[in-house]
Amino acid sequence: MLNTVRHLKEIGVEVRFEKENISSLSKDGEFMMTILASFAEEESRNISENTKWGLRKRMESGEIGAANKHILGYQYDEEQEMYVIIPEEAEIVRWMFRMYLDGTSLRLIAENMNNAGIRSVLGNEFCEGTVRGLIFNEIYAGDLLRQKSFTENHITKHKVLNRGELPQYLMTDCHEAIIDRETYEKVQDEMKRRESMLNPTYCFTGKIKCGICGQPYTRKKGTARGKVYIHWICRAKKENGMTCKSVNFSEQSLYSICSEILGDDNFESVVKEMTVTENGDILFRLTNNEIKVWKNYHITKFHHEGTDTPCFDSKIFCEYCGNSYRIHKDGKYIYWQCRGKYLTGVHCKNKNYTDYQLRQISAYIMETEAFSETEFEQQIQKITVLKNGDLQYHFKDGRIKAWRRM
């Protein structure tokens, strides 16, 4: 019952009764209060919806005033029902736009404005996010975009950004511009250019998901001996506090795999999502909801460069029990297993690795585009499988590099 009373107060219904009578309310009385709360909440919702409807109609017709009466460079004039320029602040806005087109970073623009003693309309120092919000604002080109945010809940009055949930209304040339439209468009193009450099997109961007932790795969570029090598790895391997033992793929390997699975079909129009399983298989979910599977043993069966002796033979050693690893085939997968697992009295519990996993990891460690047995023989002295399953690569030139299993 107390919850019902609390809810009534939240939606604006005043409830009064003596404290000593709370416990004496009958079940019928409590039921009636619940009904009253429902009616009151529905009434509150109707009022809210009607108010929103009226506001949106006024937005459509351009009748509504401005929510922000003062924004850097402008003051809203209630009589004229439009923004009017504040000359001294307009010069600051123009300086800010010039700095950005001259290549100055948002952070440095904020520092320059703060060092010049300029403050926001609220009297605060500028930061990178504040400058970005101003430069991105269409108001400086003489336009107004309505309904950038909306009230998500009529009871809590919580506001959220409008990311397409509701229509927006753009009114052009509704007040004098501080920045001419050509300059404004140049700034928007420059902003998009900078953002694309920070977060470039490739054909696999947003397409590959880790089947172990659910994180997307991300592109990793490395350089060795003047040559650039590119791999796709689970993002969890790059984030602090996150772990994952997923398989990495060179970009060239992914191109080959997609060609094998899709044939001549266009990747971007056909593939909806790719999921990498724990053993390195890739599940392709197509746009027509068809599922195709690429098995990682496809490469392990045909990727030995014509040699009968596996390149990892006598190269992998177990820290747990001191034995070497040897190849094992079960008819489907080819993997490497510590000899201590089947030697009497040893009982080694160290991790197995598929041949394909070792090839992908080795390519990543050697910073090569794809695994090469010749390159492996030239560079790697041995691999130690540590007690926790991590791999330690010992190079012939004395370097040691580790791969964390996560």
pTM score, two decimals? 0.41
Judged by phi (left if over 0) then psi (alpha if -120 to 50, else beta), residue 123 lies in left
Distance CA 283, CA 109 (A): 46
b/e map of 150-166 (b: 16 or more CB within 10 Å)?
Answer: eeeebeeeeeeeeeeee
Distance CA 164, CA 149 (A): 10
pLDDT on residue 323: 92
pLDDT on residue 154: 56
pLDDT on residue 333: 64
Distance CA 115, CA 206 (A): 41
Nearest to 353 by CA among 334, 373, 335: 335
- Strand order across the 400-403 sheet: 316-318, 380-385, 391-395, 400-403
The token pair at 357 is 């996993």
Cα separation of the two ends of the chain: 51
Distance CA 309, CA 332 (A): 19
Q: How many helices (H) and strands (E) does the chain have?
A: 11, 21
| Torsion angle defined by CA atoms of residues 135, 139, 140 and 142, in that order, rounded to the nearest 10 degrees | 150
pLDDT tens digit at each of 406 positions of the chain: 445 445 545 545 455 544 444 444 555 566 666 666 666 666 656 655 655 555 555 555 555 556 678 999 999 888 888 889 999 999 999 999 999 999 998 999 999 999 999 999 989 999 988 899 899 888 999 988 776 665 666 555 566 666 666 676 677 888 899 999 999 999 989 988 887 776 666 889 889 999 988 889 998 887 766 777 788 999 888 776 667 888 888 888 898 889 888 888 888 889 999 999 988 889 999 988 899 988 875 444 333 333 445 789 899 999 999 999 988 876 556 789 998 887 877 788 888 888 888 888 898 898 887 788 888 999 999 999 999 889 999 999 999 999 887 6
Domains, the chain, ranges and CATH? 2-61 (no CATH), 70-142+177-198 (3.90.1750.20), 208-295 (no CATH), 304-403 (no CATH)
Q: Transcribe 182-251 into DSSP letters.
A: HHHHHHHHHHHHHHHHHS---TTTTTEEETTT-PBEEEEEEEETTEEEEEEEEGGGTSTT----PPPEEH
pLDDT on residue 69: 83
pLDDT on residue 300: 40
